[in-house]
Structure formats: structure tokens, C-alpha cells
Amino acid sequence: MQKLQLTLAIIKPHAVKNPVAVSYIRNVLKNSFVVVKTKNVTLDKEAAGKFYKEHVGKFFYNRLVTFMTSGSIDLHIIGHANAVELWRRMLGPTSVYKGQFEDPYCLRGIFGISDTRNVAHGSDSYTSAEREIKFFFPDFSFYHWHNSDEVTYRKGPIIFNNHLFQHVRRL
């Protein structure tokens, strides 16, 4: 089996508030990926602004930052041989309306409300994934991941802990 690649999934505030969306998305995550870490946080404007700093100056920047601070978000570090691309494919296009038209079963097509409230985030490259994981999980050790945890998550034995919403090593 190929080595596991990590990416960051963020479930955005409007989806976290929708129990049907959360349960559907969580099923997709736990059935298609290994879920390495999960946590729920509420961002302030400074953190949201910093996370989306590549978009400073764009017409949607203020509304994006306001939206991302409007409720809590779920953060998931997920792994798969092709995690970055697979999760982006499952999300569908940035534009919800495009998704509804071109790929109605993508997550953004199903649960998206507007081009800003587009359900979830996925890192756009492995370099972005590393940067974004460090941003939200400063204690996560990539060294430890590459030298020890990756092989455990790939070869097992692991089980799913529903309470943590994470796969964990079976003792």
C-alpha cells in the first residue's frame, strides 16, 4: 500500500450547525480516509484573517472572515494515499452553483448555500496541507508522523473512536 498523505479538512460554520450535513460528511471522512486528528475551534477575526491571508484585498475577503468567525468549525487531519486531491474532488468546485450544475453529488453541491458558505475547506496542495496543519495543530509532529504513526495508520491495527472522531491505534 502506498504511503499515506495528509491533508486538512475544515467543516465551515453553517455546515457544523446542520446535523444532517455533519453526519453525512463524517461518514464520508471516516469511510474514505483515516482520521488522524479532530478538534472543534472557534476562530477570532485575527486567526481567520491570517488563515486566509492569500485572499486579502479580494471582494469576498471580509465576508469570508466574518463568516468563518460566525460559529465553530471542525478541523480534521485526514490521511489517504492521495488525500489532497481526493478530498478536493469530494468537495467539488469552489463555486457551489458550479458544483450543483456540474457535479450535484459533491459535498459543496449537496450542502452548499452560497459561494462563501461552501461547506468545507480542503488544502490545495501538500505544501499548503503542511502549512495549514501546522497553523491549526501547532503540536502535531510531522517528524513523528513520518517516522512512526504513518505506518501504523497504513498497516494497522487501528480502530475508530467515535467519541474522539479519530482512528486510533488498537492496543
- The residues in 121-150 that bind Mg ion, with binding defined as CB under 5 A, are 124
Distance of alpha carbon 157 from the chain centroid: 24
- The residues in 127-166 that bind ligand ADP, with binding defined as CB under 6 A, are none
Phi, psi of 134 (to 5 degrees): -65, -35
Question: Per CB under 6 A, does 103 bind ligand ADP?
Answer: no
From the list 26-34, 35-43, 112-120, 138-146, the region that binds ligand ADP by CB under 6 A is 112-120
Q: How far is the CB of 94 from ligand ADP (least distance, A)?
A: 3
Of residues 10, 64, 83, 90, which one binds ligand ADP by CB under 6 A? Answer: 64
Q: How far is the CB of 84 from ligand ADP (least distance, A)?
A: 11
Residues 25/107, Cβ–Cβ less than 8 Å: yes
From the list 18-26, 29-37, 115-123, 129-137, the region that binds ligand ADP by CB under 6 A is 115-123
Of residues 5, 42, 116, 152, which one binds ligand ADP by CB under 6 A? Answer: 116
From the list 1-9, 23-31, 117-125, 151-159, the region that binds ligand ADP by CB under 6 A is 117-125
C-alpha span between 78 and 5 (Å, rounded): 8
* Residue 96 burial class via C-beta count within 10 angstroms: exposed 0-12, middle 13-18, buried 19 and up: buried
Within 8 A by CB and 6+ apart from 72, the residues are 13, 16, 40, 41, 42
121 catalytically annotated: yes
- The residues in 65-94 that bind ligand ADP, with binding defined as CB under 6 A, are 94
Listed residue (4, 3, 5, 2) closest to 125, CA to CA: 5
Is 120 in a helix, a strand, or coil?
A: strand
C-alpha span between 73 and 152 (Å, rounded): 28
Please list the active-site residues.
121
Residues that bind Mg ion (CB under 5 A): 124
What does the binding site for ligand ADP look like in residue numbers (CB under 6 A)?
Answer: 55, 60, 64, 94, 115-116, 118, 121, 124
